[in-house]
Structures are given as C-alpha cells and as structure tokens.
C-alpha cells in the first residue's frame, strides 16, 4: 500500500468559505489515526469519518492537539504553501496508521495522510510530522 495523502473535500469547502468572506476556520489541530492495517487517504474523509475503518486516537499522547508550528511558505508562486510540524510522544503501545490535520473548532479535517505502513509506537516513542500543502497552478 502506498502512502497516500490528500486535501479533503471538507478542507476545500472551508477554503472557499474564506474566499467568500464567510466564517471560515484555520489549520490548528492534528490527531493520529488508529488502525491495525494501512489506510488509504480519501477526499471524502471527514473529521467524524476518517479513511477506511480508521479512528482518531483519544489518548496515549496521540490524541487531538494544537499543531506545534504552522507557517506560510513559497514553492512556485508567493505564499502558495502552508507548512506544519508536530511531535507526538506516545505514552503507551499504540498503532498509528496516519494523521488528520484539522481546524481550530476541531470539527473539520483539512488534510488526511495515511502512512506507507502502520507505525507501532511504544511508550515514550516520538513521531515527528513534517508536512506541507501547496496549491499548484495548471
């Protein structure tokens, strides 16, 4: 199974809300996904319904938390990229199949990423996430 990552439909809808000058939320939270086998990221995934049978971790240091750093960047055109970094520290043995990057109200998933393989975290293990999303022109 390949590593898959995508901006979700709900993430795009949130961006369009911003362009329409309606109430939109920003990228602020991150949560690890729990599943015994690798998942496949899907555009249709939502905060409440992640890819395949994955669920959000709710404890053990892998639960929903504020992203450590979020910043703007430039790849092709000025300010076309958002970057984010986060470190999870596990407090028990848990499987991590991927991540959800969510909004500040913790009800919308912007980005879903399913890793190449399930990471078997043990107590005190750390997982450093290095992510970026770029909007590319045709």
Binding site for another protein (CB under 8 A): 1-3, 5-7, 12, 38, 68-69, 71, 73, 83, 85-87, 89-90, 96, 99, 111, 113, 115-121, 123-138
Nearer to another protein, 104 or 126 (CB): 126
- Taking the complex as a whole, how short is the minimal distance between the CB of residue 48 and another protein, in angstroms? 21
Nearer to another protein, 58 or 128 (CB): 128
Written as one string, the DSSP assignment of 58-112 is -STT-SSEE-SEEEEE-SSSTT-EEEEEEEEE-SS-EEEEEEEEEETTS--EEEE
Distance CA 88, CA 90 (A): 6
Residue where the block lists tokens 């971790």: 57
Angle at 71 between CA 23 and CA 84, to 5 degrees: 95
Nearer to another protein, 63 or 120 (CB): 120
- Taking the complex as a whole, how short is the minimal distance between the CB of residue 57 and another protein, in angstroms? 13
Instruction: Tally Cβ neighbours within 10 Å of residue 53.
Output: 11
Residue where the block lists tokens 């994955």: 54
- Taking the complex as a whole, how short is the minimal distance between the CB of residue 92 and another protein, in angstroms? 12
- Taking the complex as a whole, how short is the minimal distance between the CB of residue 101 and another protein, in angstroms? 8
Nearer to another protein, 31 or 90 (CB): 90
């Amino acid at each position: 199974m390949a590593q898959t990552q995508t901006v979700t439909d709900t993430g795009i809808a949130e961006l369009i809300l911003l362009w329409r000058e309606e109430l939109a939320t920003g990228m602020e939270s991150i949560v690890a996904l729990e599943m015994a086998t690798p998942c496949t990221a899907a555009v249709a995934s939502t905060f409440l319904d992640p890819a395949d049978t994955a669920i959000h971790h709710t404890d053990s240091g892998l639960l929903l938390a504020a992203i450590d750093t979020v910043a703007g960047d430039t790849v092709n055109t000025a300010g076309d990229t958002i970057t984010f970094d986060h470190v999870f520290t596990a407090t028990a043995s848990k499987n991590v199949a991927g991540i959800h990057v969510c909004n500040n109200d913790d009800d919308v998933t912007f980005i879903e990423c399913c890793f190449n393989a399930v990471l078997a975290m043990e107590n005190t293990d750390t997982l450093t996430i290095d992510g970026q999303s770029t909007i590319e022109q045709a």
